[in-house]
């Protein structure tokens, strides 16, 4: 959906390079196992409780990202060049 794609893409850009292997595996399960992307968004924004299997550190990171404390505009997906940059 149009709202979910920028949200998840921007989260990935900001966080994937800092995650360890276990966190990457949890993130992969989180974005691929639920059948409805809106569920992930609702869990991240705390509009609905997440299932127990998705209550982990990556969900906490996603929830913190969803709070958008810096009031960034997140209306479009990031350019993909970041995928080819060396990790920070």
Alpha carbon distance 81, 29 (integer Å): 24
Model pLDDT, residue 5 = 61
What's the pLDDT tens digit per position in 17-71?
899 999 999 999 998 898 888 899 899 999 999 999 999 999 999 999 888 776 6
Cβ neighbourhood burial of 7 (10 Å; 0-12, 13-18, 19+): buried
| 43 neighbors 33 (Cβ within 8 angstroms) | no
For 54, residues 6+ apart whose C-beta sits below 8 A from its C-beta are 29, 30, 34, 43
pTM reported for the whole predicted model: 0.70
């Amino acid at each position: 959906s149009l709202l979910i794609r920028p949200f998840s893409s921007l989260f990935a850009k900001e966080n994937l390079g800092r995650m360890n292997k276990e966190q990457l595996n949890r993130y992969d399960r989180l974005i691929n196992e639920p059948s409805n992307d809106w569920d992930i968004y609702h869990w991240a924004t705390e509009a609905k409780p997440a299932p127990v299997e998705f209550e982990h550190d990556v969900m906490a990171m996603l929830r913190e990202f969803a709070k958008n404390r810096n009031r960034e505009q997140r209306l479009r997906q990031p350019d993909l060049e970041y995928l080819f940059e060396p990790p920070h």
